[in-house]
Amino acid sequence: MQQMPTTPQAAQCAGIPAHGNRDKLNSVDFQWFIVRSLPHQEKKLAALLAEHRGELKNILEIYCPTHTTVNVSMKGRDVQAPLFAGYVFVLSTQRTVADFMSRYYPEGTIMYDSRKRDGHKPGFLTVPDGQMRFFRDFNENYADKVVILEKPYTDYAFNPKTNEPNETVKVIDGPLAGREGYIARFRRDKRLVFNMKALDSDKYYAVSVPNVWDFHVVRLHNAVCDRQTIGTMKERAVDLLIGMLQACGYGDNTLPVLYGIVDTLALKPSLVSLCNTLYGQGHKELGKKIAGLGTSDAELLINLVRYERDNPGYVRTNWQKLVIRPFLTPTPGVGFEDGRDEAELEHQSFTEIIRKVSITEQTYYPDRQEDRQAATEYYAHVGIMPVSGGGSIVFANWDTFLDEYFQTAGKANERLVGGTVRATADGGNGVKEKLIESFRNFAPTLYKVLAGESSEVRALRGLDTGTGSINVLAVTANDGSAVSTGKAVDTLLETCVGICKEINSSIHLAAWRRYLRTVWLHK
């Protein structure tokens, strides 16, 4: 258990001369100073400050914490411990605070920072205005609910029982707006865990706040260990092979060759040996592509075949049909002409358009405990198939995702798509409204598609492509012209990317994020 910041390691400054050196103190800059009272006298000190505020003039604001104890996790149970007892925060100039303390409360102290910072001499301890605003909101709204944890913040990046990464989120509004942290399970409750800086030192304390679902948060992509990324590893490996096989012209024979490659690697997990075998069998182009794989892609394949060895038949069982690749993949398969962001691949009954797309996500970097926008290159796959009457249909593979949706019927479907709010207990005698975990609330673009609200994109069940049926999101280009078809492709891409980002950034659609892994092979 880390030591609680109840006794700040700071020198007492009560003995500052009342007059002689006063001109050396800053009388211009207004800052938040921390003053400490005798035990249980913080309210008396705050009252004295308020009483002499008019006389001293430069005291702009006084804050005495409303809660002075918090829950502390110790050996699996929560106990009460002092945190802010004896503190009063004063927004003023250095000279005014020192003058007040020497005249009216000499038994108190102004907190002193003995550390040298950036060449500056030690001086009074001050709190930045932004940190002070957060502290006030936090103290008044959550101090009685927060639990200070035994373990450091980094220990909550993973679920210790499953060894899976915990979701990383950022609070959007309310007193905790801007806070980043993990959603971690504590016994029967999921809590928001974040780092909180002590006001009187450079120490940080991992704290948890209950009822995480009451917060408006967005999910951040964790740059180091993201659950969505880890969950697509085997799918990315299989898709990598499928892309290379299609680019080499294997067409309808893609899956049988895929099974053969996996079987060969399962017997001997060596890409060098595999390439030699392929060369000997006349698959020279394919062998060259595999031989040219980078380290990360090679590791993906080896991890896949290790899993196949432990679970024989995994690839055959889970890849029994192939119409078109998932909507978003990390690799293109086919080559791109110089300067082009788009390529075509002809299938028996439709043309596949493969287009480079840049997906921007709010990304969290645990080592720096900060987030920023980061763009990653993916490849979008859409099919263009002619239909009777001269038009065409433009479609994207959402097969498994939509299959789960189509199986949700009746009241459950209505709730999933169009649910808004429901009444729930607020912990007291009253009730409050809580957003229902629905597409309308947390994936509005998908809601418009499914509800038919001014969306050109539709969800189609079992679209017959001539070589197999597949659940798709689709747009119809009525006249089949290049201009109309091009607009349909753009509309479908924009809509599908928007849906992917909405679902992936919401913590409220966890089940649908799992299904999204079959649509967006996140890397």
Q: 314-335: buried (b, 16+ CB within 10 Å) or exposed (e) per residue?
A: bbeeebeebbbbbbbbbbbbbe
Q: Which two tokens stand for residue 437?
A: 């975990």
Element at 488 (helix H, strand E): helix 482-505
Q: Which two tokens stand for residue 461?
A: 């069940």
What does pTM read for this prediction? 0.80
Q: Mean pLDDT for each 10-residue chunk of the chain (523 residues)?
A: 32 28 62 90 91 88 79 67 79 92 92 68 83 83 80 90 90 84 86 83 82 84 91 96 96 95 94 94 94 95 95 96 97 90 94 96 89 95 90 96 95 90 64 82 95 90 93 91 91 97 93 96 95
**Is 58:94 a contact under the CB 8 Å cutoff?**
no
Q: How far apart are the first and last CA of the chain?
A: 37
Domain residue extents for the chain:
22-215, 225-322, 323-523
Q: What is the maximal distance between C-alpha atoms in the chain?
A: 97
501 CB-contact burial (10 Å; exposed 0-12 / middle 13-18 / buried 19+): middle
Beta-sheet pairing, 87-92 with 147-148: unpaired
Beta strands in 50-119 (DSSP E): 61-63, 69-74, 77-82, 87-92, 109-110, 112-113
Residues in contact with 322: Cβ distance below 8 Å, sequence separation at least 6, in sequence order: 242, 254, 255, 468
User: How many angstroms separate the CA atoms of 189 and 205, rounded?
Assistant: 20
Nearest to 33 by CA among 79, 104, 101: 101
Q: Tokens 């002689």 map to which residue? A: 20
User: How many angstroms separate the CA atoms of 223 and 490, rounded?
Assistant: 29
Residues in contact with 170: Cβ distance below 8 Å, sequence separation at least 6, in sequence order: 178, 179, 180, 217, 218, 220, 362, 364, 371
Nearest to 459 by CA among 398, 521, 386, 387: 398
Tell me, what's the pLDDT at 74? Answer: 63
Nearest to 459 by CA among 449, 445, 468: 449
Q: What is the CATH number of domain 22-215?
A: 3.30.70.940
Helix (H, G, I), strand (E, B) or coil at 210: coil
Vertex 98: Cα angle to 94 and 103 (nearest 5): 150
User: How many angstroms separate the CA atoms of 500 and 356, rounded?
Assistant: 16
Amino acid 323 reads: V
Q: What sign does the dihedral 119-121-122-125 (CA atoms) show?
A: negative
- Please provide residue 266's backbone torsions phi and psi, each rounded to the nearest 5 degrees: -65, -35
